[in-house]
Amino acid sequence: MSKFSLVFQHELKTLVLRKSFLLLLILVPLLPFVTLTVLSRFGAERSSAVFEELFVPSEEVMFVGFVDQSGLVQQIPGELQETLLSYESEVLAEVAVAAEEIQFYYVIAADYIESGQVKKYGGLSGILGEADSMNRIGDLIEFNLLEGDMTAFERLRAPMVVEEQLLSDEPQRDPDAAMSFFLPYAITMLFYFVIFGNASLLLRSVTKEKENCMLEGLLTSLRPFDLIAGKIAAGGLAGLLQTSFWLACGFGLLRMSGQQFGLSEAFVLPTFTIVWGAVFFLLGYAIYASLMAGVGAVVPNIKEATQFSLLVSAPLIACMMLFSAIIDNPGSTLALVLSLFPMTSPVIMMTRLASGTVPLWQLLLAVGLMMVTVVWIIVSVTRLFHAQIMLAGSPLKLKRFIKAFIGKA
């Protein structure tokens, strides 16, 4: 049996039998399962009510007054009649505010048609209350500018009903689906935590073995490449098994919730997305695990390793900061560049796949670039695993790490 296989088997067994690994494996899908089971007993309508009671804050009805000095307002749309109150003068509106009948009022100027001027008087209402009241006054004015034509008013509210017909046979997600934002967001978060979490485990493993002087002993009988490659392969497989189990449980929960709550197909990932997800996870993990192993080889203790790992994970953190822009426009130049750059490709490419279609050539190019990067990083990291670097015991500095990484230390 090769030495690589021995390292791989030992590391895989150690990882999957760790208590933290098993607890996460079970607890992550257990909580939503219990929640769904409890809610399913209420039925679909009652479950929705329970969700609203628990998570949606109750909205207090906000009454808003207005004084029309322009004579424009001839009638109030039916949906606004209960919460939008008309007053003949500002004095009466001020009395209503003092009596707390309304929170504030708007005055439509006499020359509104020429100036468009509307003034607000009263107390503070918060950002959401302010926006809601302004929208109501805006609807009131638009309705009367159209002389009460409800058909034209509704068309002004929704000027376009776009029917999209794709010219490509490649599958697309419905941009108007309820999950069009949440699903790519969830995929981005999942890949970030799984890749960074599993790579961090390798960092702690190498650092601990170095502190215990086990690493030097292992390198007397193992090549650095066999040691690093075995650890990376074991960690990648363990992470893939863990993530696959979570996705399988999530798929089952979504099927159950679809039966209980009538969820649409937008909640289900296409098979091709899951397949590509496995590829990008393994390659992304290999890149960051290799870098973490290199950090573990040259740091003197776990404290400095944790601090330096933040620098290594900076590209993943950048992905989290930019994911909204990627979801809004997955075909942009920014999205294309980040999805091809090997350090950000595993997260950004999956965000794009969850948001829409990605051309096959971009997927293949991203995979090719990541494979080249993985080989280059692993070869470079093996240079760090020699006695002069590991036994130096001096604090890690970026300049020293880079020189050792390229074989100049």
In what order do the strands lie in the sheet containing 84-87?
84-87, 64-68, 104-108, 118-122
- Rounded to an integer, what is the distance from CA 358 to the centroid of its chain? 18
Q: What are the helix (H) ranges across 19-119? A: 19-40, 44-55, 90-98, 112-115
Distance CA(18)–CA(146), nearest Å, equals: 69
Question: Nearest 5 degrees, angle CA 246-CA 317-CA 351?
Answer: 50
Split at pLDDT 50, 70, 90, the class of 340 is very high
Question: Is residue 178 very low, low, confident or very high in pLDDT (cuts 50, 70, 90)?
Answer: very low
For residues 174-191, average pLDDT: 60
Q: Of the given ranges (52-61, 84-93, 123-132, 204-213), which has the lowest mean pLDDT?
A: 52-61
pLDDT value for 330 = 80
Query: In the chain, what is the greatest distance between 2 CA atoms, to the nearest angstrom?
Result: 94
pLDDT score at 183: 63
* Residues 240-291: tens digit of each pLDDT: 788 778 777 777 766 665 544 444 454 556 677 778 888 888 888 888 888 8
Query: In this structure, which amino acid lies at residue 10?
Result: H
pTM here is 0.58
pLDDT value at 185 more than 60: yes
C-alpha distances out from residue 43 to 50, 131, 257, 285, 305, Å: 10, 35, 11, 42, 51
Closest alpha carbon to 344 in 360, 364, 328, 321: 321
Whether 148 and 283 have beta carbons less than 8 Å apart is answered as no
Residues 203 and 231: their CA atoms lie apart, in Å, by 10
Q: What is the rounded (10 degree) CA torsion for 318, 320, 322, 323? A: 150
Helices vs strands, H then E, count in the chain:
18, 4
Distance CA(367)–CA(362), nearest Å, equals 9
Neighbouring CB atoms inside 10 A of 138's CB total: 11
Domains for the chain: give ranges and CATH numbers. 64-157 (3.40.190), 172-405 (no CATH)
Beta pairing class for 84-87 and 118-122: unpaired
Report the mean per-residue pLDDT for the chain: 75
What are the structure tokens assigned to 325, written together? 């822009």
In whole angstroms, how far apart are CA 324 and each of 73, 174, 180, 188, 353?
Answer: 41, 17, 12, 10, 14
CB of 374 within 8 A of CB of 284? no
- Pure H helices in 212-359: 214-219, 224-261, 271-298, 302-312, 314-328, 333-340, 345-355
Residue for token pair 């989290």: 320
Task: State the pLDDT at residue 364.
Answer: 93
Beta carbons within 10 angstroms of residue 93's beta carbon: 24
pLDDT digits (tens, 9 = 90+) for 5-25: 887 888 888 878 888 778 877
